[in-house]
């Protein structure tokens, strides 16, 4: 309705038309479909708010600089790299130990051979010079 029609209407007609519009609006508000739609929208808004809170909590858990999932993953990766380096160092030390044990065994054999030879030389000297007199 335009402004001219409102001016031409009597107060009674204007009130009657407003009452009709209000009753129509009231019927729409009380309509079960409208109420159900309103409840669905409220539920959707609540679910969206809960989802937002959950996403915020997940972001905190993932991105926490002290104990977040990303930090823990990086620590795990660093730990694995350290273990690989330590394992290489350990294998190197084991090989060096084996080499030292072999060297020690060879030195002991040489030492025993030298002592046996020295003993034989001393025995020969004693037998030649001390006992033949």
Q: What DSSP element (H or E) covers 91?
A: helix 69-125
User: How many angstroms separate the first and last alpha carbons of the chain?
Assistant: 156
List all residues 6 or more positions away from 65 whose beta carbon is below 8 Å from its beta carbon.
71
56-89, pLDDT tens digit by residue?
A: 988 887 777 777 777 778 888 888 999 999 999 9
Residue 35 placed within a domain: yes
Euclidean distance between CA atoms 63 and 96, whole angstroms: 45
Residue 122 placed within a domain: no
Residue 53 placed within a domain: yes
85-103, pLDDT tens digit by residue?
A: 999 999 999 999 999 999 9
102-125, pLDDT tens digit by residue?
A: 999 999 999 999 999 999 999 999
Euclidean distance between CA atoms 5 and 20, whole angstroms: 17
Domain membership of residue 90 as a residue range: 3-95
Residue 102 placed within a domain: no
* pLDDT grade for 35, boundaries at 50, 70 and 90: confident
Read off the tokens for 9.
């209407």
Residue 114 placed within a domain: no
Residue 15 placed within a domain: yes
Domain count, the chain: 1
State phi, psi for 111 to the nearest 5 degrees. Answer: -60, -45
DSSP state of 9: S
């Amino acid at each position: 309705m335009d402004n001219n029609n409102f001016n031409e209407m009597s107060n009674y007609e204007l009130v009657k038309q407003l009452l009709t519009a209000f009753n129509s609006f009231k019927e729409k508000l009380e309509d079960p479909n409208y109420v159900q739609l309103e409840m669905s929208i409220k539920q959707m808004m609540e679910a969206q708010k809960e989802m937002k809170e959950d996403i915020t909590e997940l972001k905190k858990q993932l991105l926490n600089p002290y104990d977040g999932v990303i930090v823990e993953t990086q620590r795990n990766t660093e730990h694995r790299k350290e273990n690989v380096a330590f394992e290489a160092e350990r294998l190197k030390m084991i090989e060096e130990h084996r080499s030292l044990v072999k060297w020690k065994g060879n030195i002991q054999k040489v030492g025993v051979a030298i002592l046996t030879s020295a003993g034989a030389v001393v025995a020969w000297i004693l037998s030649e010079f001390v006992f033949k007199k």
